[in-house]
Structure 1
Amino acid sequence: MSKYSKEIIIGVIPVILVFLAFLEFNIFPFIMMAALIAALLFIVRPKMNIPAKGEAPGSKLRKPAPMSFDEIGGQDRAKNELKEALEFIIKHEEIKKFGIRPLKGILLTGPPGTGKTLMAKAAASYTNSVFVGASGSEFVEMYVGVGASRIREMFKKAKAAAQKENKDSAIVFIDEIDVIGGKRDGGQHREYDQTLNQLLTEMDGIHTSESPRILIVAATNRKEMLDPALLRPGRFDRHIQVDLPDKKGRLHILNIHAKNKPLAESVNLEKIAEESFQFSGAQLESLMNEAAIYAMRDNNEFIEQKHLTLAIDKVMMGEKTDRETSKEERERVAYHELGHAIMAEVVTPGAVSQVSLSPRGPALGYVRHNPQQDQYLYTKEYLEQRIMIALGGAVAEEMFYGNRSTGSRNDFEQALNLVKMMIDSGLTSLGIVDRDMVTQEELMKANSVILEELTERTRETLEAYRAVFIQSLSILIKEEVLSGDQFRSLLAMLKQKSTA
């Protein structure tokens, strides 16, 4: 049914009634029937939990299961910062002595799946507050003014719910606030602007001395898109970054999700935490779930280390596929992956854990790397090495086939992102620059110079290991998997022959 069906029906019915009255037809029974149906809908609507027009779907009181901060792993810094902010609600009488103004809003920012929504629910439990939650998309409507009315309704619901439950405070949580809080550019999005204006008005109208006290918690992974009026002090007073967990945090999260799963005694979760670098909390939960699925497929009583290792590949690249490839295509993929593996092993000895030809997700093959230490600062040399590893596959194809394939597309995207990072960090011949102050031609020239130089260095390196390609190819085609130890032994044999 068309989204305008209701408006069409509302417009047509009066016309029909007027036409029938003009024909001297008795329309009184129709009017009475319509009134009766309207009365029944009015009575039934609350029992069916149908939101009225203008009422925010998310403004219905949500009673999430009690959650404590202890159940959220890997975010110690963010949790401590949030707890400190929540103390202003819990100890409101004490802070009056120091003339401290309680916070009105807390903005949680960070990548998807890091636990921002969980932290908002834990905040409600920590402060013994009513929790009213909604997503930013629930306030977006084609009708001007509907979103603004839903914002008003949500704050009224929060206050009413807190009074009904005899609680001193309520937490209003808005997920994906960038949907309604984006920067205003003077365009024609009047509905978005009115919704944002109403939110700003409601935040300004929060009197921190009133009871029940209202605290707004919002979450976004696109903070840079938010309107400056939202971010200023007096509205969202605290901005808390909820980052991807480090190794210690990942281990904590894995232990939380392993509590209800039968792990074998030989399982080493610390190693899994090392191998899952840059996994979010949601990905780690999925990892443990997929490992349990693999164990169930194998009819195992316990989840073993191999199941967790397979689960990492599944979360990163997707499920294994049954795609049939030709002999020529398999050889090309093998050369491609060996190019990545040789470059990785040359720049970082011991880096390769496995070279595989098993199709997984969109990839026809992949190289699994051994866990490296968490690293957050990168030198020019390190970034150049990462680019050379990414280019290794395409260069290997050129060495043996004289051309490239579409299999290098993702590798090139990775290389271009690394070059962009180098330019933005002042690690290129351009020096320290503002990207907006440099012409597109200059950026393209610097980009080409870097990639051409590193491509040539990659080719020179791989040419010295041409014998390893040839020796590894037959094993990889036959077995589909080449372990890191096998691969390193082939490299060592080549070195011995070259020095003999």
Structure 2
Amino acid sequence: MSKLGKEMLVGFVPVLIVFLIFLGVNVVPVVLAGVILFSLLYLTRMRGNLGVSSSERKGKNRAPSYLTFDDIGGQERAKNELIEALDFLIKHEEISKFGIRPLKGILLTGPPGTGKTLMAKAAAHYTNSAFVSASGSEFVEMYVGVGASRVRDLFKEARSRAAKDGKDSAIIFIDEIDVIGGKREGGQHREYDQTLNQLLTEMDGIHTADTPRILMVAATNRKEMLDSALLRPGRFDRHIQVDLPDKKGRMHILQIHAKNKPVADEVSLERVAGETFGFSGAQLESVMNEAAIYAMRDGRPDIGQHHFSQAIDKVMMGEKTDREATMEERKRVALHELGHAIAAEKVRPGTVSMVSLSPRGQALGYVRHNPQQDQYLYTRAELEQQIMIALGGAVAEEMFYGGRSTGSRNDFEQALQLVRTMMDSGLTALGIIDRQMVTKEELMKENSAILDELHAKTRDMLEAYRPAFEQSLDILIQEEVLTGDQFRALLASVETTAQTSA
């Protein structure tokens, strides 16, 4: 009904009721009948809206035909594993000769921003399947039975879309499946349980010999939260880990996102890849985008290496702030950051990329480290080195001011976390332990022993470089930034002077 028609109806009904009352007609039955009829029409319309999937509400679900596995970088192992699983859907005649049962479900797990949703869309293109997607949060409503109804409608839509498009298969993708697939607990019956039960029933109803063939793909970054009935074979048969990319993967991702950007010839994307250890694909895309923004702000025709450096800092720390500190605060922050930098350069030479006094996010200054290679396993000595780097800032403040400031809080949290890692890995004097079976007094005693020893070692190491603090302080206060090469040159000159005087 048009808006004009609704307005005319709203205006006509009250006038008609008043007119009937004026004639002496009993309007109560008429009004009750009208209310009941309106309620039925409203509920019917609401039910229809609930049955419409998210894809239909967003314009018949944009087809992912333009996204292929070649467009996704940094996930070669995960892509190969997924492609192998998808081949079961494509080569159904060939695999039937070996008696192989095609997969019903594939679960993509891993940190946010690693490309799980992109891989699901690329899977639809690879298999030439109809693609229907939804988010787990869309199944959660206050009305009982709504989530289960939406699950049924999602499978129904996948089959009808495949038939309409003339495709032999359909892929149903549910993002954030942990919202509806969480572990069921005893006691009170929850709406989530009805939705999960319906999903399990629908997956059991997937018969691989039927046409169109249905494949369920889901994504989560909290696999440990999922119900065991959902994870068993016959439902989600394959669990594919989509990890953060390594250096080679980060290089591939950067190259993909650099295709439509004017990157200067002297830019080394390999250097950018090395400086972004631990970045997800989404963060790397943001680095490329922010670097282009910085180049545009500077009025440059292309993106330079310093733009990438600024972009990495922004993604890691946040945008520069207008916070104005006093000169005394600036000196304290500068000495604090130099303490981190000198400790890092002595225990891990060549890893300091930049020392900055520019406030970003909540930090008044920072040191950016450039690991020489990606590392995933650590020895006790290497963890102790990281703790010394974390303590370097507070130790520097003690050396020059006789005490610490609140700026060391995050450093101490990092150091304590590293000590916990050492304990859980059996790398302390406590040996191999279960933290739940050791008293707090024992844990605190070992924690204090480790931190006190490393604090003393850090103090001895930094005291030998007092001249480096003094020489670097003036430059850092004035320039606000020291590159890794400048910083290493200053350290080298101090060491040369010390050797000459000795």
Residue type of the partner of 1:149? S
Give yes or no for contact 1:318–1:360 (8 Å, CA) kept in 2.
yes
Q: 1:214 to 1:367 in 2, by over 3 A?
A: same
Give yes or no for contact 1:56–1:151 (8 Å, CA) kept in 2.
no
Deviations 1:64-94 (CA, angstroms, capped at 9, x unpaired)? 3311100001111100000000011101111
In 1, Cα distance between the equivalents of 2:483 and 2:166?
Answer: 63
Give yes or no for contact 1:58–1:135 (8 Å, CA) kept in 2.
no
Aligned to 2:100: 100
Deviation at 1:32, TM superposition (A): 5.0
Aligned to 2:445: 445
Residue type of the partner of 1:75? Q
Q: 3-state DSSP class of the match of 1:385? A: helix
Residue type of the partner of 1:246? D
Aligned to 2:154: 154
Give yes or no for contact 2:64–2:124 (8 Å, CA) kept in 1.
no
Structure 1 residue 204 corresponds to structure 2 residue 204: yes
Q: 1:266 to 1:340 in 2, by over 3 A?
A: same
Q: 3-state DSSP class of the match of 2:150? A: helix
Structure 1 residue 327 corresponds to structure 2 residue 314: no
Deviation at 1:182, TM superposition (A): 1.4
Q: How does 1:376-395 map to 2 (within 5 A)?
A: 376-395=376-395
Q: 1:435 to 1:214 in 2, by over 3 A?
A: farther
Deviation at 1:405, TM superposition (A): 1.9
Aligned to 1:63: 62
Residue type of the partner of 2:295? A
Aligned to 1:166: 166
Structure 1 residue 425 corresponds to structure 2 residue 422: no
In 2, Cα distance between the equivalents of 1:410 and 1:359?
Answer: 16
Structure 1 residue 52 corresponds to structure 2 residue 49: yes
In 2, Cα distance between the equivalents of 1:238 and 1:447?
Answer: 41
Higher deviation after alignment, 401-410 or 261-270: 401-410
In 2, Cα distance between the equivalents of 1:340 and 1:130?
Answer: 54
TM-score calculated relative to the size of structure 2: 0.89
Aligned to 1:28: 30
Q: How does 1:435-474 map to 2 (within 5 A)?
A: 435-474=435-474
Aligned to 1:118: 118
TM-score calculated relative to the size of structure 1: 0.89
In 2, Cα distance between the equivalents of 1:239 and 1:189?
Answer: 29
Q: 3-state DSSP class of the match of 1:154? A: helix
Deviation at 1:220, TM superposition (A): 0.7
Deviation at 1:54, TM superposition (A): 5.6
Deviation at 1:40, TM superposition (A): 9.7
Structure 1 residue 367 corresponds to structure 2 residue 367: yes
Q: 1:235 to 1:444 in 2, by over 3 A?
A: farther
Deviation at 1:484, TM superposition (A): 2.5
Figure out how many residues of one structure are paired with residues of the other and give that number: 477
In 2, Cα distance between the equivalents of 1:26 and 1:232?
Answer: 59
Give yes or no for contact 1:178–1:220 (8 Å, CA) kept in 2.
yes
Aligned to 2:10: none
Give yes or no for contact 1:68–1:122 (8 Å, CA) kept in 2.
yes
In 2, Cα distance between the equivalents of 1:58 and 1:434?
Answer: 48
Structure 1 residue 214 corresponds to structure 2 residue 211: no
Query: Where does the alignment leave 5 or more consecutive residues of structure 2 unmatched?
Result: 1-16
Give yes or no for contact 2:50–2:150 (8 Å, CA) kept in 1.
no
Residue type of the partner of 1:253? I
In 1, Cα distance between the equivalents of 2:342 and 2:462?
Answer: 7
Q: 3-state DSSP class of the match of 2:144? A: coil
Higher deviation after alignment, 396-405 or 294-303: 396-405
Aligned to 1:251: 251
Give yes or no for contact 1:172–1:217 (8 Å, CA) kept in 2.
yes
Q: 1:441 to 1:170 in 2, by over 3 A?
A: farther
Q: 1:40 to 1:134 in 2, by over 3 A?
A: closer
Deviation at 1:445, TM superposition (A): 3.0
Aligned to 1:234: 234
Deviations 1:278-328 (CA, angstroms, capped at 9, x unpaired)? 111101111110011011101111111111111111111111111100111
Residue type of the partner of 1:310? Q
Residue type of the partner of 2:359? P
Aligned to 1:399: 399
Give yes or no for contact 2:78–2:242 (8 Å, CA) kept in 1.
yes
Deviation at 1:437, TM superposition (A): 3.4
In 1, Cα distance between the equivalents of 2:161 and 2:366?
Answer: 54
In 2, Cα distance between the equivalents of 1:177 and 1:216?
Answer: 11
Aligned to 1:91: 91
Residue type of the partner of 1:84? E
Q: How does 1:307-326 map to 2 (within 5 A)?
A: 307-326=307-326
In 2, Cα distance between the equivalents of 1:410 and 1:300?
Answer: 37
Query: Where does the alignment leave 5 or more consecutive residues of structure 1 unmatched?
Result: 1-16
Residue type of the partner of 2:364? L
In 2, Cα distance between the equivalents of 1:34 and 1:205?
Answer: 38
In 2, Cα distance between the equivalents of 1:64 and 1:279?
Answer: 29
Deviation at 1:35, TM superposition (A): 4.6
Q: 1:340 to 1:40 in 2, by over 3 A?
A: closer
In 1, Cα distance between the equivalents of 2:52 and 2:408?
Answer: 50
Deviation at 1:219, TM superposition (A): 0.5
Higher deviation after alignment, 111-120 or 450-459: 450-459
Q: 3-state DSSP class of the match of 2:49? A: coil
Identity of aligned residues (%): 72
In 2, Cα distance between the equivalents of 1:143 and 1:469?
Answer: 65
In 1, Cα distance between the equivalents of 2:479 and 2:62?
Answer: 54
Deviation at 1:36, TM superposition (A): 7.5
Give yes or no for contact 1:113–1:283 (8 Å, CA) kept in 2.
yes
Residue type of the partner of 2:311? A
Higher deviation after alignment, 208-217 or 396-405: 396-405
Aligned to 1:130: 130
Give yes or no for contact 1:152–1:202 (8 Å, CA) kept in 2.
yes
Deviation at 1:448, TM superposition (A): 2.5
- RMSD value, Cα: 2.5
Deviations 1:69-122 (CA, angstroms, capped at 9, x unpaired)? 000011111000000000111011111111111111101011110100000000
